[in-house]
């Protein structure tokens, strides 16, 4: 696919997302990143939860666009290992890390709503809107994001299994360069570039979010059930934004 100068780059809504996604499908992950960076050299971002295998996307994208804003949503309930991992990768990869937080502190939320994550699926949905969806929407508005990279993969859940390389959500394009990668592909990339897994990966955590709704993988749990007590897999970001 030929490069497009930013001055003539199409509006995200002018792109046929479905057809473009099909055209990107046979390309490599790196080529998909190149396609997006060529078309959106500005107003493009990378979101990362600094989860188990986050170093892959952070490395792959920042190699092609070192100044890309990397958005981390800090709910206030992340593992201490996640904060340390984020700082390690920020320094090592020289990331332009932008941290966004909920409008209300954890103490304020608990005093007004109680522990939302203990209030069944409805409470979890409210929690996610307050602590994840709203801060990310705010980040996108402030950074004027028109397109963004996400490291989700089809292997991770039944919801993600149906996703393409490219999607449009709320007038923005979302690019999934490693959507078709397996755990083996992830391991090979990390090893080839001497990149680390999240520290909790070695303690059985395959999907890492907030402390209160993340569990290590066991023989009794599927990967999807290690988040949100098995009530749901997605935090809302990939469903709504």
User: Which CATH number do you get for residue 20?
Assistant: 3.40.50.620
Residue 4 lies in a domain: no
* pTM for the whole structure: 0.89
pLDDT of 158 > 80? The answer is no
- pLDDT score of 233: 52
Confidence of residue 112 (pLDDT cuts 50, 70, 90): very high
DSSP string over 44-71: EEEE----TTTHHHHHHHHHH-TT-EEE
Distance CA 201, CA 203 (A): 5
Residue 3 lies in a domain: no
- From the list 57, 235, 236, 237, the catalytic residue is 235
Structural domain boundaries enclosing 211: 10-240
Residue 64 lies in a domain: yes
Distance CA 152, CA 235 (A): 12
Residue 1 lies in a domain: no
Calculate helix-pair angle for 29-39, 55-64, nearest 10 degrees. 50
Sign of CA dihedral 189, 224, 101, 167: positive
- pLDDT score of 223: 79
**Summary count for the chain: helices (H), strands (E):** 9, 6
Structural domain count, the chain: 1
Sign of CA dihedral 218, 220, 221, 226: negative
> Average pLDDT, stretch 101-119?
96
Confidence of residue 157 (pLDDT cuts 50, 70, 90): confident
Comparing 169 with 178, the larger pLDDT belongs to 178
What count of residues does the chain have?
241
Q: Is 235 a catalytic residue?
A: yes
Q: How far is CA 162 from CA 76, 107, 174, in A?
A: 31, 38, 14
> Average pLDDT, stretch 29-38?
97
Residue 5 lies in a domain: no
Instruction: Report which of 175, 171, 221 is spatially closest to residue 45, judged by C-alpha positions.
Output: 175
């Amino acid at each position: 696919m030929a490069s497009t100068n930013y001055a003539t780059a199409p509006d995200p809504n002018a792109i046929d997302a479905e057809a473009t996604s099909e055209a990107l499908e046979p390309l490599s992950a790196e080529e998909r990143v190149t396609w997006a960076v060529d078309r959106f050299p500005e107003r493009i971002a990378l979101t990362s939860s600094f989860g188990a295998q986050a170093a892959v996307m952070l490395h792959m994208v920042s190699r092609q666009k070192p100044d890309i804003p990397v958005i981390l949503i800090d709910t206030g309930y992340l593992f201490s290992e996640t904060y340390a991992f984020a700082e390690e990768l920020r320094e090592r990869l020289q990331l332009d890390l932008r941290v966004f937080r909920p409008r209300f502190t954890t103490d304020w939320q608990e005093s007004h709503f109680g522990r939302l994550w203990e209030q069944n699926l409805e409470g979890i949905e409210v929690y996610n809107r307050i602590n994840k969806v709203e801060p990310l929407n705010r980040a996108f508005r402030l950074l004027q994001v028109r397109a963004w990279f996400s490291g989700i993969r089809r292997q991770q859940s039944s919801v993600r299994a149906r996703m393409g390389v490219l999607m449009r959500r709320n007038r923005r394009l979302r690019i999934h360069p490693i959507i078709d990668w397996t755990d083996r592909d992830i391991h090979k990339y990390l090893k080839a570039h001497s990149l680390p897994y999240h520290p909790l990966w070695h303690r059985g955590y395959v999907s890492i979010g907030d402390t209160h709704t993340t569990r290590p993988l066991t023989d009794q749990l599927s990967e999807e059930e290690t988040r949100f007590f098995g009530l749901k897999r997605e935090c809302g970001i990939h469903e709504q934004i």
